[in-house]
């Protein structure tokens, strides 16, 4: 179960990262600032930092794409806390069986 939750979070990070790359690099809707140039893995890194609400500050979004990353932070916060609650509830079921 924990592995499934982890894989789901990683898939969401990659989905948002690739979407951010597509919007900024391919469609020129906003930009990322902080480095001289960006590749797809930089977008994945920024997506992971935003999703987990760590926010190092070395990369930041500019323009309309900021809405995507704001939504990403909210989505990450909600889904990480939800999956922690879900995992705890499932583990409680198993703890009761052993007693």
Mean local confidence (pLDDT), 22-36: 91
Query: Residue 21, class by beta-carbon neighbours within 10 Å (0-12 exposed, 13-18 middle, 19+ buried)?
Result: buried
Query: Residue 28, class by beta-carbon neighbours within 10 Å (0-12 exposed, 13-18 middle, 19+ buried)?
Result: exposed
pLDDT on residue 98:
53
Q: How many CA atoms lie within 13 A of 85 on its CB side?
A: 6
pLDDT on residue 97:
58
Domain extents in the chain: 2-97
pLDDT on residue 52:
93
pLDDT on residue 94:
78
> Six-digit token pair at 13?
């990070």
Per-residue pLDDT reduced to its tens digit, 37-89: 899 999 999 999 999 989 898 999 999 999 999 999 999 999 999 999 988 98
CATH number of 2-97: 1.10.287.70
The pTM for the full model equals 0.83
pLDDT on residue 92:
86
């Amino acid at each position: 179960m924990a592995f499934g939750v982890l894989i789901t979070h990683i898939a969401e990070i990659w989905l948002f990262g690739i979407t951010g790359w597509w919007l900024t690099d391919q469609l020129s809707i906003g930009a990322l600032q902080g480095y001289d140039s960006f590749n797809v893995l930089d977008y994945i890194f920024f997506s992971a930092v935003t999703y987990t609400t760590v926010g190092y500050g070395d990369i930041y979004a500019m323009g309309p794409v900021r809405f995507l990353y704001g939504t990403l932070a909210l989505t990450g916060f909600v889904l990480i806390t939800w999956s922690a609650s879900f995992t705890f509830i499932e583990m409680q079921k198993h703890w009761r069986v052993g007693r």
